[in-house]
Amino acid sequence: MIEVAHRHGAVARCIWLDTPPAQAQRNVVERLLDGDTDVITPTSHMRTVRELEPPSLDEGWDDVERVPFVREATGGIPALFVAASAVTGAIARHGPCLVFDWNPDGSDEALQRAASLVGGDVSTALCPHPAGPPRCWCRPPLPLLPLTFARTHGVDLQRSTLVGCRPAHRILADTLGAAYIEG
């Protein structure tokens, strides 16, 4: 393309839509929730990120413009997302609440115990998928569980809070655009 443009006296200009990997993962999950079942797997996405080289002038471009990714606000109500492992006592809350966990053996005992401590009308979500390279989009810090909850409850993620206790929880909060509180 660059060679053809130069042969015809045209400028070869590249616009690089620079999307952080976590936001690209969120975009994939949003497409999945929209009903697109032909999305890449988490491991495919991570491999793509590792192998991606941003465009540069030494490839022959006359100009490379970097456009940073900006997510549009969604509107809605604030919610609380709570990692089950971060619950050590009662948590004061207002609005909808999701207590989530990852347990590869599929047991939800810790999840239910944490939900009972949070109290009130609490939704729960569990990723039961095995350890190792992620094959699902629901194991934190991947965002399927809270994004599904947010869509169901009309949640504004940017006005929401995530309570966690691990680096994966902080990354998840950043991916969602939610405030983070160490539990």
Same domain, 103 and 27: no
Average pLDDT over residues 128-137: 93
Q: For residue 112, give both structure tokens.
A: 């239910």
User: By CB neighbour count within 10 A (0-12 exposed, 13-18 middle, 19+ buried), where does 68 fall?
Assistant: exposed
Q: What is the pLDDT of residue 121?
A: 85
**Can you give the residue range of the structural domain that contains 161?**
80-182
| Strands in the chain per DSSP E | 13-18, 63-68, 80-83, 97-102, 122-127, 161-164, 179-182
Single residue among 68, 88, 113 that ends a domain in this structure = 68
Same domain, 176 and 92: yes
Q: What is the pLDDT of residue 91?
A: 81
- The one-letter amino acid code at 177 reads G
Is the CB of residue 15 less than 8 Å from the CB of residue 65? yes
Using one digit for the tens of pLDDT, what is the confidence trace for 25-43?
Answer: 999 999 999 999 999 999 9
How many domains is the chain built from? 2
Q: What is the pLDDT of residue 80?
A: 96
Q: What is the pLDDT of residue 119?
A: 81
Q: What is the pLDDT of residue 90?
A: 80
| Residue 142 within a domain | yes
- Mean pLDDT for the chain overall: 94
Same domain, 13 and 89: no
Using one digit for the tens of pLDDT, what is the confidence trace for 73-112?
Answer: 889 999 999 999 999 888 877 789 999 999 999 999 999 9
pLDDT for 21 beyond 80: yes
Same domain, 107 and 172: yes
Single residue among 35, 68, 101 that ends a domain in this structure = 68
Same domain, 43 and 89: no
Is the CB of residue 157 less than 8 Å from the CB of residue 178? yes
Using one digit for the tens of pLDDT, what is the confidence trace for 156-177?
Answer: 999 999 999 999 999 999 999 9
Is the CB of residue 26 less than 8 Å from the CB of residue 173? no
Single residue among 68, 90, 114 that ends a domain in this structure = 68
CATH number at residue 129: 3.40.50.1000
Distances (CA, A) of 40 to 23, 24, 76, 136, 148: 14, 11, 29, 10, 18
Other C-beta atoms lying within 10 Å of the C-beta of residue 182: 10
Same domain, 105 and 158: yes
- The one-letter amino acid code at 91 reads I
| Residue 158 within a domain | yes
| Residue 74 within a domain | no
Average pLDDT over residues 123-140: 94
Average pLDDT over residues 59-68: 97
The reply to whether the predicted model has a pTM over 0.85 is: yes
pLDDT for 130 beyond 90: yes
Average pLDDT over residues 125-147: 95
Percentage of the residues of the chain whose pLDDT score is greater than 70: 100
| Residue 132 within a domain | yes
| Residue 85 within a domain | yes
| Residue 21 within a domain | yes
Q: What is the pLDDT of residue 139?
A: 95
Secondary structure string (H, E, C) spanning 16-54: EEECCHHHHHHHHHHHHHCCCCCCCCHHHHHHHHHHCCC
